[in-house]
Amino acid sequence: MLDPGESAPEITLTDHRGETVTVDPAAANHTVVYFYPRADTPGCTAEACGFRDEWDAFEDREIAVVGVSDDPVEDLEPFAAEYDLPFALLSDPDGAVAAAYDSYGEKSMFGNTFDGVFRNTYVLDGTGTVVLAYEGVSPEDHAVEILDDIDALDD
């Protein structure tokens, strides 16, 4: 995991609309970069919908949100459309960006070992510095947890 105080690696990836996106932390008060294993699975859907359901609160606080997975773009577009997600989902097919954020590596499920994305989240300030880091996130209520923690930073 990257620790608070560390500079976050740059992110330039293709989003769910097929457009190249460079995440610019200076464009918001804070930027949430959340890594998730697979689009349209129960935990990932709950996490994405949590951000969607709290979207007005994120916008009110000028907090940008991007989701990153190793899903191909063609899997992200229907996921974003089906759940009406108002933020960018970024495709990191080789896991290079996730790896730079210590959020990619060997996983095991159902007796199979494979490389994949870990469910981790980072909050960056306007300079691109990590201010909050969450490892092994529980998708339920994660968006509210982040909002509360960002509010506590500003107190």
Q: Looking at the annotation, which residues are catalytic?
A: 44
Kindly state the greatest CA–CA separation across the chain: 46
Please name the helix (run of DSSP H) or strand (run of DSSP E) that holds residue 153, with its range, or none: helix 142-153
- The DSSP-derived string for 49-112 is HHHHHTHHHHHHTTEEEEEEES--HHHHHHHHHHTT--SEEEE-TT-HHHHHTT-EEEEEETTE
Q: Nearest 5°: CA angle at 68, between 70 and 72?
A: 35
